[in-house]
Amino acid sequence: MSWETVIGLEVHLQLATRSKLFSGAATAFGAAPNTQACAIDLALPGTLPLLNKAAVEMAIRFGLAVDAEINPVSVFERKNYFYPDLPKGYQTTQLAHPIVGPGHLDIELADGREKRIRIHHAHLEEDAGKSLHEDFHGLSGIDLNRAGTPLIEIVTEPDLRNAEEAVAFAKKLHAIVTALGISDGDMSQGSMRFDVNVSVRRPGEPLGTRTETKNLNSFRFMERAIAKEVARQIGVLEDGGRVLQETRLYDGDTDSARAMRSKEEANDYRYFPCPDLLPVHVAPALIEQLRASQPELPDARRARFVAEHGLSDYDAGQLAADTPTAHYFEAAAKASGDPKLAANWLMGEIAARLNSTETAIAACPVSPAQLGGLLQRILDRTISNAIARQVFDALWNGASDADAVIEAKGLKQVSDSGAIAALVDQVLVANPKQVADYRAAPDDKKAKMFGFFVGQAMKASGGKVNPQQLNALLAARLNG
Amino acid sequence: MSIQRADIEKLAELARIHVNEDTVTATTLGINRVLELIDQLRAADTTGIAPLANPLDATQRLREDLVSETVDRDALQAAAPAVEAGLYLVPKVVE
């Protein structure tokens, strides 16, 4: 009998504010230790929190993007536990009255079907600091720069049924929050972290006991951690054992996981409303103002790319998901005048280069305007596709624009029929045996053999011959 | 509503407060007296009254998102028992 996997996610998202959730200290990543931890973040006596307006607005923007109810009144509570990276002895968070109520996100499954994933709620809270366990003479080092950084925690219903769905949800969420501009989404810096709740059951049975694997910071780790945990739980149950409710840690480097601590004890957080903060009232006018100024989201952008630029749904989806890529595409489409060609280059040559050099699109050495200039020369047949790759290479390595490269290297396509005819003759004279073979071959073999002559002519010209003209003239000579 | 000695011991552990044999009984009694007061409050009829998260009839003020704090790390760390390389040092915690 088969097993059914049930997955729910908790996503911690760092908001792209300049200052902390409750203090005016900076949130920039990578500062020297404790240089961004002020008296409020350190919980020195006498300090009081003051809530960051931008964080509240970003949470509302997220809620609007997932069709959620925005609660008119939300309340901060204290979640009490002791850990050295939490100076106050409690985390200020929301529990009973979160700012964002139930919503949903539709994901696309591998077979193209859509599936609705319900979002239970999303709440505002502060991040903790970081503990460094390298050896400080048997002590731990604490950096509180991250303490107080605003987060929203997004909690889904247990609607996901396998690792692929969980990853599809995570990627879509990432696309939405980066399009909204409420987070940089940089997972390598911990801007988006996933806790995965996993259980298995026989289809139709009540939910099994779940475990929580915490702090997964890449899509790949998430996928692997889920696969591993599902296999472990099935193994335990099929051996007649019982799954324990526990928190687990997954180590991506070794692809291994272990139990962290017993959940029962740690789970008693004794929440209560924070007396230092008043209830947060969100006026309907603010919600409407934010709704009216929501940026375009990936789904809408994808539909527009199909309608406006004539892209296939697949290509549009690829380009619309990532906001910097989408912006690059639109600029290059405009500069070249041919969106389809711009899309092909972006998903082909450029994607490959960015990948192999681990460069972000925002740092692409070839600007959309430069790419547009190059594509124009393909479109007006000044150069062939093959030559265009050479020109692109030069642009990637710092050349200023396509025309200058074509001029300097003499790459202009040969489309003078006299010159091409001479080239064809030269190739035929140099290869008498192939010419004889070709002429003697049955028709169905000829197409393949024809390619040999095209290749020779291209080679002799340095790739500069107009391919359509070359094909026509070659065919005329060989078949004539 | 009343709580038992075992509850007090668990709460003390969660709150990192030391209660010993001499004080645990008195603490249990003391907290139970507070809970009796709370029971009286709970007996009040609150039908139709919205729960209150804060006794003040006021709304949380919001702050503009500006970096307004300059951090004098040396001054702040002067109060710490141990620091090194800009880090606060604490007894080793590894989960």
DSSP states of A409-476: HT-PPB--HHHHHHHHHHHHHH-HHHHHHHHHS-HHHHHHHHHHHHHHHHHHHTT-B-HHHHHHHHHH
User: Pick from A386, A409, A432: which residue ends a domain?
Assistant: A409
A33/A108 same-domain check? yes
Are residues A276 and A387 both part of a single domain?
no
Residues A19 and A81 in one domain: yes
Residues A254 and A272 grouped into a single domain: yes
How many angstroms separate the CA atoms of A220 and A203, rounded? 27
Look at residue B69 and tell me if it is in a domain.
no
Residues of B within 8 A of A51 (CB-CB) are 60-63
Mean pLDDT of A462-477: 82
Name the domain count of chain A. 3
For testing contact with chain B, the best of A14, A15, A34 (most B CBs within 10 A): A34
Q: In terms of residue numbers, what domain contains A166?
A: 4-288
B25 part of a folded domain: yes
Decide if A156 contacts A120 (C-beta within 8 A).
yes
Domain count, chain B: 1
Query: A409, A439, A458: which is the final residue of a domain?
Result: A409
d(CA A161, CA A214): 18
**Sign of the four-CA dihedral A139, A151, A224, A161:** positive
Q: Give the confidence band of A60 by pLDDT, cuts at 50, 70, 90.
A: very high
> What does the mean pLDDT of chain A come to?
92
Q: What is the pLDDT of residue A468?
A: 82
pLDDT of B94 reads 66
Query: Are A194 and A306 part of one and the same domain?
Result: no
Nearest residue of A to residue B13, measured between CA atoms? A265
A64-78, A208-222, A255-269, A388-402: least confidently modelled range: A255-269
Cβ-defined contact of A144 to B94 (cutoff 8 Å) = no
Q: Do A52 and B63 make contact, defined as CB atoms within 8 angstroms?
A: yes
Is the model's pLDDT at A131 over the cut of 50?
A: yes
**% of residues, chain A, pLDDT over 90:** 73
Assess whether A380 and A423 both reside in one domain. Answer: no
Please name every residue paired with A125 in a beta bridge, in sequence order, or none if there are none: A151
Please name the member of A42, A44, A53 whose beta carbon is closest to the beta carbon of B65: A53
Q: Is residue B50 part of a domain?
A: no
Average pLDDT score over residue span A442-464: 84
Could you give the 3-state DSSP secondary structure of residue A131? strand
B5-45 tens-digit pLDDT: 888 988 888 888 888 888 899 999 999 999 999 999 999 99
The string of DSSP letters for A236-293 reads HHHTT-----EEEEEETTTTEEEEEEEHHHHT----EE-TTSPPEE--HHHHHHHHHT
| d(C-alpha A355, C-alpha A151), whole Å | 30
The pLDDT score that the predictor gives to residue A266 is 55
Task: Specify whether A317 is located in the same domain as A273.
Answer: no
For B23, the domain range is: 5-43
- Whether A242 and A330 share a structural domain: no
Alpha-carbon gap, residue A246 to A318, rounded angstroms: 38
pLDDT at position B58, please?
82
Q: Which of A269, A288, A307 is the last residue of a domain?
A: A288
pLDDT at residue A410 greater than cutoff 80: no
One domain for residues A279 and A312: no
* CATH code of residue A454: 1.10.10.410
Predicted local confidence at residue A295, as pLDDT: 96
Q: Is residue B33 part of a domain?
A: yes
The yes-or-no verdict on residue A263 having pLDDT over 50 is: no
Q: Residue B31: inside a domain, yes or no?
A: yes
pLDDT digits (tens, 9 = 90+) for A285-344: 999 999 999 999 999 999 999 999 999 999 999 999 999 999 999 999 999 999 999 999
> Residue B37 domain-assigned?
yes
What spatial distance separates the first Cα and last Cα of chain A, rounded to whole Å?
70
The verdict on residue B16 lying in a domain is yes
